[in-house]
Structure 1
Amino acid sequence: MDSKRKLRNSIVFIGGTLLGILLVLIPFDFNGAVDTVLFYYLKLFITHFNKPLRFIIMLLMVLSALGALYDNIAKPDWIRNNKLLKNILSTTPFYIANRILGALICVLVYFNIGPEFIISADTGSSMFGLATQLSILVPCMLLLQTLILECGAMEFLGELIGFIVKPIFKVSEMGAVSIISAWVGPGNAAILATQNLFEEGYYTVKEAAIIGSQFSTSSVGWIVLVSSVFGIMDHFATLFLVITLVGIIVAMVGVRIPPISKYPDTYVDGSLVSPVKKQENKDQSKLAFAYNSALQRADKVSIKNFTSKINNMLFYVIWLQPIIVCWGTLALIISMYTPILQWVSYPIELILKLTNVSEPAASASAIMSGFADNYLPVILGQNIMSVESRFIIAAMSILQIVFMSEIASLLTSTKVVKNFKDVLLVFVIRTFIALPFVILFAKILGLS
């Protein structure tokens, strides 16, 4: 590699990675609002243009449902022979029904008609609002995350510290960046990025499932939001540290037991060896080899690395969002309007009673409601008086990771996790492993 090309690749690697980190990962204080640069300005845009955006998202939901239904009935060549259209419109009758229900919910909410239990602020209206926001945030995140994932940082960290993640989390060295990105960035974007890297041959079936189910949290910005609503912003740094430490423990256990441990270590083509060629280090220091690996990756970066993300961006908005709205609304209705939540939260209530946590019944219901949506624990727990209890609920709402309104449906829809049963098991396992450690840390911290 000549000196000019090496300089160009160094600029791409260092400049691109730093720009991506600056825009996507690092939270800043914007006049009291703590968020990443990307999210802060996108949220301003969403707030300013909320009304037209709501109409556009509703229209896309309806077109998604009608397009999928038309494709299933007519099977037109102009859809089936187009890779992009086939990817976002061709699906099974089950998911078509989900799209139709999701689109119907959005129409009812937008025009404020229909049963209150569907369109209320706690159910369909909440999901439609979330869909409007995420339809802007996630595609932009997917696009700009390319700077971090494809300019050489993955290869650099993979060679430099990847040896740590392999024995601890059972993923290859290449997974180091994906794990960090999934932990501090939006989980939905991380799952789609992981699926994309799996399809490119970087990860095995098991590795993709591990990253998607064990590390796809709701981003630093979301933790800030939860802390703010719960009135525990003065404990934010402590909360984030506890979430990280307990998250490492839970992941270490989760990757070694079913269902994730039973996933095959095979790549997208079914082989046991990655189709992505990996250069071996023969005579360089680890740092020098990591840097050179990054430069080789940066040498391949072009505009195509960004334009290729359009498929996944449209897939998220048109394919997944109606399903997320459907499943999320149904989960919220069950949580808010039936006694099922009280029944399933009873084991958690017993644990909280045994450890002398205040308001155990209300806290347990708030914790278990996280399976429906990760903001539901905040809604149900914000009136709890004890700081300790609110701290525990806040930590658990992040650590559970899997929730029906988004991550659970995303994991199953993209086949990162095989089926709903496995998603449910992951949620239960993470909840019961994480809870004792979160309670222990809360007690050590002496919160009251």
Structure 2
Amino acid sequence: MKSSQRIGFIKFLIGTILGIVLVLIPFNFDNGMDTILFHYLKLFIAANKTVIQYLLVLCVTLSAVLSLYALINKNSFLHSKRLCKKLFVTSPFYVVNRFFGALVSILCLFKIGPEFIISADTGTAMLDLATQLSILVPMMLLFQTLILEFGAMEFLGELIGFIVKPLFKVSEICAVNIISAWVGPGNAAILGTQDLFEKGYFTVKEAAVIGSQFATSSIGWVVLVSSVLGLMDNFGLIFLGITLIGIILGFITVRIPPVKNYPNTYVDGSTESTIKSNSSGSKLKTSYINASERANSVTLTNFTSKIDNMSFYVFWLTPIIIFWGAAALMISIYTPVLSWISLPVEMILNLAGVPDASVTASAIMSGFADNYLPVILGEALPSIESKAIIAMMSILQLIFMSEIATLLKSCKLVNKFSDIIIIFLERTFISLPFVIIFVKLFIS
């Protein structure tokens, strides 16, 4: 055993364990369960919310103005600077999106304009959410480096990759990203997946599978949803059910369009990965060697390179998330569209004898707008059974317009917006019968 390998393995253990403890494991704090990283970041946000919100609205407004300037002036400095080009050079469609996002942000910040825009349930809700996420997601992207780039991918990929390969039709190296996406924040998982795709780790199809099938809202979010709905006594069962049904969902959806039709090609168009690993000896020895070599290759650049994606989230995605999230919430709350599209779900719930089927169905389908909207609509329901179904579905649907759907499209992990809608509907109608059966057997 080489000395360099021992040193590398120590680096792997320290970096990975530190990342898991900080980022993934929920602890019981005074204000409830959360990860260490999120707990202290949320305390910071609560203490400085006003300042952060003003700075965020400034960033969103700058994003709109600079992207318009870049669109008009093709010879501007924004086109010549690498990071500026990534952040501000975009199509007319996204420039318009940014301006609408900036407009909603300004109106909500200063409490001016129509009530349906600045209401606490629509635009203001999205601005408050974006304020939190503007700190949480960039920091998650930074600290997630400890888990994703210190050898855990190589170690787990060799040890348990043989499980994910036949189940989800992806390479072994996807194993740790699937796990990280499932238990960590989905937004950070998507940006991290995009980053690794660009580095040649994943094919187009693998990136789409991870982003559209496993980028849930984190253990912390499941805790939050369970707490608000009064289901903490059943948290363990709810998370177990979500995980088991999530595996079934992933198994099915990767075998049907649209995900099935994505190409197994890498970022450079090739069908062979440029990421090489040692595969001699036993799986445990190979895992040890690969993890050690990966950990030894880590430098400060692995952390500083995250500045791109951290900035991308704030300047590129935040205005779009605010606009589309607010628009989706307005449609859900102020129009009858939600009750219309909920009818098929209501029929299934009625057939299964689920209490308050109409409200439960509306809550489930509202998840396409935002994954917290089902919780808001279902909070007053008296039935534990209905609440548990809403809680599990709000996580399993995974796709919601206010963030994940926008991220998938903006990061180009999913080709077309129509694919996003199809994936949402697939996940909703495939998972619903399993969720109903699970809740009736173990929770109600």
TM-score (normalizing by structure 2) = 0.99
Q: In the alignment, which residue of structure 2 is the partner of 1:156?
A: 155
In the TM superposition, what are the counterparts of 1:33-72 in structure 2 within 5 Å?
33-72=32-71
Contact 2:141/2:192 (CA < 8 Å) preserved in 1? Answer: yes
SS in 1 for 2:403: helix
Q: In the alignment, which residue of structure 2 is the partner of 1:247?
A: 246
Query: Aligned equivalents of 1:43 and 1:446: distance in 2?
Result: 31
Query: Aligned equivalents of 1:240 and 1:2: distance in 2?
Result: 42
Q: How much does 1:288 deviate?
A: 1.1
Query: Aligned equivalents of 1:101 and 1:70: distance in 2?
Result: 16
Q: How much does 1:77 deviate?
A: 4.0
Query: Aligned equivalents of 1:386 and 1:11: distance in 2?
Result: 50
Contact 2:328/2:401 (CA < 8 Å) preserved in 1? Answer: yes
Q: How much does 1:8 deviate?
A: 2.6
Contact 2:8/2:292 (CA < 8 Å) preserved in 1? Answer: yes
TM-score (normalizing by structure 1) = 0.98
In the TM superposition, what are the counterparts of 1:65-80 in structure 2 within 5 Å?
65-80=64-79
Q: How much does 1:277 deviate?
A: 2.2
Q: In the alignment, which residue of structure 1 is the partner of 2:127?
A: 128
SS in 1 for 2:297: coil
Query: Aligned equivalents of 1:197 and 1:69: distance in 2?
Result: 30
Q: In the alignment, which residue of structure 1 is the partner of 2:116?
A: 117
1:315 aligns with 2:312: yes
Q: How much does 1:32 deviate?
A: 4.9
1:352 aligns with 2:326: no
Q: In the alignment, which residue of structure 1 is the partner of 2:376?
A: 379
Q: Which amino acid aligns with 2:370?
A: D
Q: Which amino acid aligns with 1:358?
A: P
Where structure 2 has 5 or more consecutive residues not aligned to the other structure, the ranges are none
Q: How much does 1:212 deviate?
A: 0.2
SS in 1 for 2:264: coil
1:444 aligns with 2:432: no
In the TM superposition, what are the counterparts of 1:19-418 in structure 2 within 5 Å?
19-281=18-280, 284-418=281-415
Query: Aligned equivalents of 2:6 and 2:170: distance in 1?
Result: 32
Query: Aligned equivalents of 2:298 and 2:384: distance in 1?
Result: 48
Give per-residue Cα distances to partners, 1:200-258, cap 9 Å, x unaligned: 01100000000000000000111111001100110000100000001000110000000
Q: How much does 1:393 deviate?
A: 0.3
SS in 1 for 2:34: strand
SS in 1 for 2:33: strand
Where structure 1 has 5 or more consecutive residues not aligned to the other structure, the ranges are none
Q: In the alignment, which residue of structure 1 is the partner of 2:416?
A: 419
Query: Aligned equivalents of 1:274 and 1:293: distance in 2?
Result: 16
Greater mean alpha carbon deviation, residues 76-85 or residues 341-350: 76-85
- RMSD of aligned alpha carbons: 0.9
Q: Percent identity?
A: 60
Give per-residue Cα distances to partners, 1:84-120, cap 9 Å, x unaligned: 0100000000000000000100000000000000000
Contact 2:15/2:150 (CA < 8 Å) preserved in 1? Answer: yes
Query: Aligned equivalents of 2:298 and 2:370: distance in 1?
Result: 37
Query: Aligned equivalents of 1:330 and 1:113: distance in 2?
Result: 17
SS in 1 for 2:402: helix
Q: How much does 1:7 deviate?
A: 3.5
